Structure 1
């Protein structure tokens, strides 16, 4: 049953993606605004969340939403599956998302992501990439928007030790006068890193108390990594028996 539901979900997502992608050339042609681009992206991510719930039977619950400030901040979440990318985009429709610059090479998609605007980082560019990321994140927070990123850098399976690539988040923390909200989820229990098969159940997304600006870089980094790792471990331990 999980296999059949997953196949139906994947097929529906492909159809949804093709339908939404048909609008991109027209938005490019008419130089659509960032607000329009984000509105179209919301149709896509909310459609995916709808399909997860009603086709796969995969819902979610949010804990600690009160820890996310109303104004600009940085949200740093662990990364176990594609779920948290869609969920965070749906929850924070005006946020800027830190993503790989390679995506910009895809025709029309690159324009769409830049217009969103996402913060597209060339991870091979070292210090230059960090400076660019800080500049673009400063612009986003100056507009009152959140910045979303995954400090692990890539998806990691739930049975792997958590590894962080914290240079980026640390650069943002030390250069921007905004708080960082650590977040953790247990999506990997229901949708593994290396599989398209999804399980029904309820994912928990937890927002932890914000880390105020002003800590030394190393102290911030250790606190953020420890906070995310401990909460991710807690959610996995509590939820393993609930996977259906």
Structure 2
């Protein structure tokens, strides 16, 4: 049953993408604003979340919404599956997302992501990449938007040790003088890193108390990593027995 639901979901995602694809050349021809590009992206993302809910039977529950700062902040979230890249776009529609620059090489999609705008980082460029990331993140918060980053750098399966690439999040924290919202979830239990099979159930998404600006860099890193790792572990243990397979 889960296999059939997953296949149906993949098929409907493709059809939904094809339905919206004519908007991309129109946005390009008329040099659409970032707000209009984000609107199309939001429509696509909402459709994916609804397909997950009604086709696969996969929904999510949020915890700790009172911890989300009003106004700009840095959202630092663990990364286990494709789910959070879509769902967090829906939950935080105006956020700028930090991602790898290689995505620009995808035909058409690269232009779309650039106009979103995402903060696309060339990880091989070292310190220059950090400077560019900070500048673009500063522009985003200047517009009153949030910045979303996955400090692990890539998806990690639930049975892998959680490792962080601290340079990016630390650079944002020390330069932007805004709070960081530690965020954790257990999406990897339902949608694995190396499989297209998706299981039904409820993903738990948890927002922890924000870390205020002004801490020493090492103190900040330790506090953030501990908060995300501990909460992600708690969510995994709480939900593991409830996953419908």
Q: What CA distance in whole angstroms lies between the structure 2 residues aligned with 1:92 and 1:117? A: 14
Question: Counterpart of 1:201?
Answer: 201
The 8 Å contact of residues 28 and 108 in structure 1, kept in 2 or not, is answered as no
Q: What CA distance in whole angstroms lies between the structure 2 residues aligned with 1:144 and 1:167? A: 24
The superposition leaves residues 170-206 of structure 1 with CA deviations (integer Å, 9 ceiling, x where unpaired) of 0000000100000000000000000000100000000
Q: What CA distance in whole angstroms lies between the structure 2 residues aligned with 1:221 and 1:21? A: 41
Question: Counterpart of 2:23?
Answer: 23
Question: Counterpart of 2:44?
Answer: 44
Where in structure 2 are the equivalents of 1:85-104 lying within 5 Å? Answer: 85-104=85-104
Question: 1:21: how far off?
Answer: 2.3
Where in structure 2 are the equivalents of 1:1-244 lying within 5 Å? Answer: 1-244=1-244
TM-score by length of 1: 0.99
The superposition leaves residues 101-131 of structure 1 with CA deviations (integer Å, 9 ceiling, x where unpaired) of 1111222222211111100001111110000
In structure 1, stretches of 5+ residues that fail to align are none
Q: What CA distance in whole angstroms lies between the structure 1 residues aligned with 2:111 and 2:96? A: 15
Q: What CA distance in whole angstroms lies between the structure 2 residues aligned with 1:138 and 1:212? A: 17
Q: What CA distance in whole angstroms lies between the structure 2 residues aligned with 1:60 and 1:243? A: 13
Q: What CA distance in whole angstroms lies between the structure 2 residues aligned with 1:144 and 1:218? A: 27
Residue correspondences, number: 244
In structure 2, stretches of 5+ residues that fail to align are none
Moved runs in structure 1, 4+ residues, more than 4 A?
A: none
Q: What CA distance in whole angstroms lies between the structure 2 residues aligned with 1:236 and 1:22? A: 40
Q: What CA distance in whole angstroms lies between the structure 2 residues aligned with 1:107 and 1:87? A: 24
Aligned-CA RMSD value = 0.7
